[in-house]
Structure 1
């Protein structure tokens, strides 16, 4: 009897209890049993501490404008689980996902009987499902987002045509290393011998490590502010950003992205350069129209996403210190005249105290601290309120706190929901129902 979609997703989620275990043995064993789809799908592989998701979205939109059939493999999802595996922006159909699950279930059961490859994780399983799907629907290229790190991430089984590293910041230090150089080395693990790469706005200490590995791998790398540049232009009151892009072809002026924040211009720059490199590889015309229209149509929910105008409500999944730093830069630039009321929750695996301290550095901000139903979610009993008892209010049930904030808001208020993307996506679902 066929599985329902709920049963199929529940089975995938049942692998969550194996946690995150860096290494390629398990995913390689499953892919071998599936006749190695990872070697047959053309891939653009994207790593980075932050900015991966929006870069994937920009690139997918530009490729689609150019007539390319493009698969995307991303995480986490915002509205539906199926978003994680998509073609031309359309999530995998329930029937297709069920079919894939039914095919791999007996293979996983066999693997669980072999100690060396038992316990494939949820993300490893999804990696295999995504690559198999992309092969069977014959995408022209799949844009694959790294899950964690790079070198030992399960997506590092692919045979890429291009790679990219968007940013390097201090995150997942328990797994990737305690210095920026160690983290950079892990991210650079996706660089493959002779395969071109695009590098984002990366600090000098991290870039030195990446460049060393790139040289060892004979990788031709396009650097931010060297082989390509983005120049910010002040937008005319619209929501989003305007910028000029430069590379060896010349200048594309006054590009518009609907995503807010200077870092989104930098992510767009990485995506445009990747699009250019891809066009060079496959002998596709690099057209300004594809760039311009693709950027305009890019959607990336829960990243500086305005979900209400009156009152002004913005969602941003700034889930680690590096992302919070970018968020506070945006808030200082765009919303200095507002009273910013922040509904915040995160995972205890992050440096929550540091994230809150950065938000408290905004003089016009008040924080409403809450928790949500997710493993390792913020624990209110840890008393983060002591960082600033005057400006941090504890909200035990976030839906009630959100409703109260919405009811109290006036024209000078910005209600910002931020922290864990899992939390922000839950809030987003509720707001969309209101």
Structure 2
């Protein structure tokens, strides 16, 4: 096929122009299915067929598992492409090669190839590709025609079966877990959601999973068996044992079907991060066994210890103490509440939160409200959002039932809300023993993190 399509419109000159065009495609929404991405990749001669993918799906923990895998593989000397979503600071964060964002010049060149193809498609029966489809196509062009990494750590966007990333045939699939998220798209039950995520399991390709619910495990087993894929399930084929837990350092042992590892350390916080790390270690073990991946034990240990993932239990300030965590569904909020009880020491807890409208808010808030002294409810700077007043109504109803925040502040503007949070902290007699937590949708986390660390807003989009 011809890849030198010329556009009737002027080519982009800067990365900002190219990214503005891509993010402008959000108006086409989310349209599950692989038809448009297959058509796009046909035009460019299917660059994905030249690459080795580790395909990662799940409700929570996808990004952390991707971070662990990237860090370990890089530490072992391999060139690694990492495709994740959403991003926290810049659109280019999503397309990394050896830990570095795609270069502006490369991004512009590839988008100038993609745009005329997308415009041609828009005139046909399939209609315009979405933002996520164009972003996925951009990643495949980048890794398959420019960077050529040894491995691509490849995170799903939404679900699995009909997710655009499912165009690839990986060398190993990973399903971290399932929870109550995106139920408007994936279905109302855990069985429905698992069925969608299990759609990334390919014929004969091994799959690693930390699924825990019996109904979810049954779906994964049935799917793997039907596709003759070996399933490495946490609690069955592999396990871990926490050894020491402290803030910024957790040690655990790992037992797998091929060998045992007596002591590994991670510096990300929360019990769920040990689960994520063990899932990544099992994935590495599968690559060792099936593909002769060369992994020195010391490199494995260093890679795990050095892993970080922004926006997940990340302490962005010590004076005052500000912890950010993108807990945007009930399972994420439960993990946050456990971490607050088990790891962090405080006499007063102030929380700022914003959510998207399609989340299970009541079940999310139940996990954390009883612990909170001051609750600040705000809104993300995004076209889809839950009104602060509506979220406050849910919180007030739960406060009557559960107790909880002595003070509830409703401030739709997130910058003003952040000021109110910090005022509550500075006026507290608890002083240094006050912990401020900012949580909820990653659209809020992205802006707050960029504002606190860099003095700017983040770029927006998936």
Same fold (TM over 0.5): yes
Which SS does the other structure have where 1:269 is aligned?
Answer: helix
**Corresponding position of 2:422:** 406
* Kept after mapping to 1: 8 A contact 2:346/2:435: no
* Kept after mapping to 2: 8 A contact 1:360/1:366: no
Pairs within 5 Å for 1:1-400: 2-115=12-125, 117-136=126-145, 137-235=147-245, 237-335=246-344, 337-362=346-371, 364-382=372-390, 383-384=392-393, 385-387=395-397, 388=399, 390-400=406-416
Which SS does the other structure have where 1:377 is aligned?
Answer: coil
**Corresponding position of 1:425:** 446
TM-score (norm 2): 0.90
Q: Which runs of 5+ in 2 are unaligned?
A: 1-10, 400-404, 456-462
The Cα of 1:290 is off from its aligned counterpart by 1.8
TM-score (norm 1): 0.95
For residues 291-347 of structure 1, what are the alpha-carbon distances to aligned partners after superposition, in whole Å with 9 as ceiling and x for unaligned? 111011112001000112222211101111221111112112223643111110111
The Cα of 1:366 is off from its aligned counterpart by 3.0
Which SS does the other structure have where 2:172 is aligned?
Answer: strand
* Kept after mapping to 1: 8 A contact 2:119/2:128: no
> Alpha carbons of 1:238 and 1:329: their partners in 2 closer, same or farther (altered >3 Å)?
closer
For residues 155-195 of structure 1, what are the alpha-carbon distances to aligned partners after superposition, in whole Å with 9 as ceiling and x for unaligned? 00001100010011111111111111111111000000110
Which SS does the other structure have where 1:361 is aligned?
Answer: helix
> Alpha carbons of 1:355 and 1:224: their partners in 2 closer, same or farther (altered >3 Å)?
same
For residues 378-428 of structure 1, what are the alpha-carbon distances to aligned partners after superposition, in whole Å with 9 as ceiling and x for unaligned? 202324253338443212322233234335342111100100111101001
Which SS does the other structure have where 2:368 is aligned?
Answer: helix
**Corresponding position of 2:436:** 415
Aligned-partner Cα distance in 1 for 2:448–2:381: 12
Which SS does the other structure have where 1:378 is aligned?
Answer: coil
* Kept after mapping to 1: 8 A contact 2:380/2:441: no
**Corresponding position of 2:5:** none
Which has the higher mean CA deviation after the structures are superposed, 279-288 or 316-325? 279-288
Aligned-partner Cα distance in 2 for 1:36–1:250: 37
Aligned-partner Cα distance in 2 for 1:343–1:418: 6
The Cα of 1:69 is off from its aligned counterpart by 0.7
> Alpha carbons of 1:69 and 1:202: their partners in 2 closer, same or farther (altered >3 Å)?
same
Which has the higher mean CA deviation after the structures are superposed, 167-176 or 329-338? 329-338
* Kept after mapping to 2: 8 A contact 1:201/1:266: no
* Kept after mapping to 1: 8 A contact 2:387/2:412: no
Q: Which runs of 5+ in 1 are unaligned?
A: none
Aligned-partner Cα distance in 1 for 2:270–2:384: 29
